[in-house]
Structure 1
Amino acid sequence: MELIEIFKAIILGIIEGITEWIPISSTGHMILVDEFLQIGMSDAFKEMFFVVIQLGAIMAVVVLYWKKIFPFSFKENSFIKKDIITMWIKIVIACIPAAIVGILFDDKINLLFYNFQSVAIALIVFGILFIVVENYNKDRSSIAKNINQLTYKMAIIIGLFQLIAAIFPGTSRSGATILGALLIGVSREVAAEFTFFLAIPVMFGASLLKLIKFGVVFTGFEFIVLSVGMIVAFVVSLLTIKLLVGYIKKHNFKIFGWYRILLGCILLIYYFTIM
């Protein structure tokens, strides 16, 4: 029985590692898969697991982009990399709206919107928006073609889109921030990269909040299940991020928009006909 739960954690880790970075909503997929897998743990543990497992995915960003996010240098003449410090200030500014809402209203948001209907609607709406925005951007040139060209105003706008994702599960944090960035003229590559970096404080903060609420005392088996999920999410994220970055250099995000619409429709059909 315990081996089955570990296998489920592996499956969920794979899903997290893929869907956390591709703008198709990790929450939507977790809800759908959990409906069939049904992890045999307490509801409190599952709620915590679905958030804290993201730490594994976040560590993949830290590993892959260490040189771009670590603001200190021990080899160069200048100890502090000012451009990276500036980037982190923009990231913090972008995270403030979602952080405030998450701290104050996390339980209420889960109660109101963490369900099939809300997730399905968010999937469909933002799927349509991705297609519309990509069509709108077809003949537009990007204003910000590298991350240093992002202004503080742009960071605030992207942060407000992240706030939408914080309120409505199924929107996709990466999807919302990428969409917001595309709307204001950020290139696809920079939009994705900034989204990766935004995830670091957001997911660490969200995980810490869930751990505090759950309590940091685990049974031995709970610790194993959580660790397995995080490790798998980390490994899969390494591959997913590399593939996504390569993909968007030559393609747009429309395919993800169509996929979101399809998944949202499947969720609605499942909810109204089977549940």
Structure 2
Amino acid sequence: MSYLQIVILSLIQGAAELLPVSSSAHVILAERLMGLDPSAPELTFLLVMLHTGTMFAVLGYFWPRWKLLFLPPGTAKADMVRPSRFHFLKMVFLATIVTGVLGLGLKVLIEKVILMRLLGHEKGEVEQLFNNLPLIAAALLGVGLFILVSGFRRAKVETNVVRPWPSFLIGTVQALCLPFRGFSRSGATISTALCCGISRPLAEEFSFALAVPLTPPVIALELHRLLQARAEQVDTAVIHLLLPGLVGMVLSFLAGLVALRFLSAALERGGWKYFGFYCILAAGFVLVVAFSTN
């Protein structure tokens, strides 16, 4: 894998991870077009580092708001801000629990029932769905339509508080995104929040607060895939993997910060719906690539 390919993947992952356009769909498509092997250890390690970079971008971008949780008690600002911030944190915890429980259940359903029993696969793994371009195209189309609905639908009254029921719904939708590459997590969760009448800035913040506890398991899963590869070069050429990984992490971090600023501006200026149009066009392009490569 060349450094040019590393730069391309890093910028794609960093930007698309934090925009509602599905980073996984873009990365899988880029891998296919560049002729890269998605099971290669160096590519798996690079993806681990790219996820780490985007997680730090989220933490850095929202830290001015999230650090209010750590204000020393007893000050006027702390007494005013901490209750709302702790409520926000409780709703993030609720949505994360819902995502974890439903996500694991959905994984078992897909692997044990759909793949093994209905489709007859000897070894059912949800990862078998990841590189299916027609399925990715369908997911992009679905999330694009969802974004359009939430973009054109404006709540009569917007709230600046996330209640338990919307938090439960957002956690449920996030769980449904996990097995399907192309169904953007941020696109689906922000759209759900907007449909529940949550204000746009809070919808964005809540969606990415959910990404923070979700990212470490994703990184762990990628590392597990790396260990499963049992490649000798992982043991003998750690430096060979580490340097490209660090370059990718820095680039994905920077691209992620730019993407978050762009997303905030788009939400503020009513440009959310345009991401829906983009996802629909991307779905068509993925289908073209799928049929042309076959």
Do these two structures clear the TM 0.5 threshold for a shared fold by scoring above it? yes
1:90 pairs with 2:87: no
CA distance in 1, matches of 2:264, 2:42: 33
Residues 25-64 of structure 1: matches in 2 within 5 Å? 25-39=22-36, 42-47=39-44, 49-64=46-61
The secondary structure found in structure 2 opposite 1:143 is: coil
Which has more radius of gyration? Answer: 2
Q: Give the deviation of 1:226 after TM superposition.
A: 1.9
Q: TM-score, normalised by structure 1?
A: 0.86
CA distance in 2, matches of 1:142, 1:240: 28
Does structure 1 conserve the Cα–Cα contact (< 8 Å) formed by 2:96 and 2:210?
Answer: yes
Could you report, residue by residue, the CA deviation over 1:72-130 in whole angstroms, capped at 9, with x for unpaired residues? 12486359934323322211221223334656739822113442111111001221222
Deviates more, 1:213-222 or 1:59-68: 213-222
Q: Give the deviation of 1:272 after TM superposition.
A: 1.4
The number of aligned residues is: 267
Q: Which 4+ stretches in 1 moved above 6 angstroms?
A: none
1:14 pairs with 2:29: no
Gaps of 5+ in 2: 109-123, 228-233
Does structure 2 conserve the Cα–Cα contact (< 8 Å) formed by 1:14 and 1:236?
Answer: yes
Among candidates 163, 177, 185, match of residue 175 of structure 2: 163
The secondary structure found in structure 1 opposite 2:18 is: coil
Among candidates 140, 145, 163, match of residue 151 of structure 1: 163
CA gap 1:98/1:38 in 2 versus in 1, 3 angstroms: farther
Among candidates 150, 166, 169, match of residue 133 of structure 1: 150
CA distance in 1, matches of 2:195, 2:179: 20
CA gap 1:212/1:167 in 2 versus in 1, 3 angstroms: closer
CA distance in 1, matches of 2:88, 2:46: 30
Among candidates 238, 260, 264, match of residue 279 of structure 2: 260
Residues 1-275 of structure 1: matches in 2 within 5 Å? 5-39=2-36, 42-47=39-44, 49-70=46-67, 71-74=69-72, 77=75, 81-100=82-101, 105=107, 108-135=125-152, 137-138=153-154, 140-144=155-159, 146=160, 149-215=161-227, 219-275=238-294
Does structure 2 conserve the Cα–Cα contact (< 8 Å) formed by 1:20 and 1:26?
Answer: yes
Task: Supply the AA of the counterpart residue of 1:249.
Answer: E
CA gap 1:9/1:121 in 2 versus in 1, 3 angstroms: same
CA gap 1:40/1:127 in 2 versus in 1, 3 angstroms: closer
Q: Give the deviation of 1:184 after TM superposition.
A: 1.2
Supply the RMSD in Å over aligned alpha carbons.
2.6
Task: Supply the AA of the counterpart residue of 1:251.
Answer: G
Deviates more, 1:249-258 or 1:22-31: 249-258
Task: Supply the AA of the counterpart residue of 2:143.
Answer: F
Could you report, residue by residue, the CA deviation over 1:32-55 in whole angstroms, capped at 9, with x for unpaired residues? 111122347853543454354122
Q: Give the deviation of 1:266 after TM superposition.
A: 0.9
Task: Supply the AA of the counterpart residue of 1:119.
Answer: I
Q: TM-score, normalised by structure 2?
A: 0.81
The secondary structure found in structure 2 opposite 1:162 is: helix
CA gap 1:32/1:213 in 2 versus in 1, 3 angstroms: closer
Deviates more, 1:73-82 or 1:42-51: 73-82
Does structure 2 conserve the Cα–Cα contact (< 8 Å) formed by 1:5 and 1:39?
Answer: no
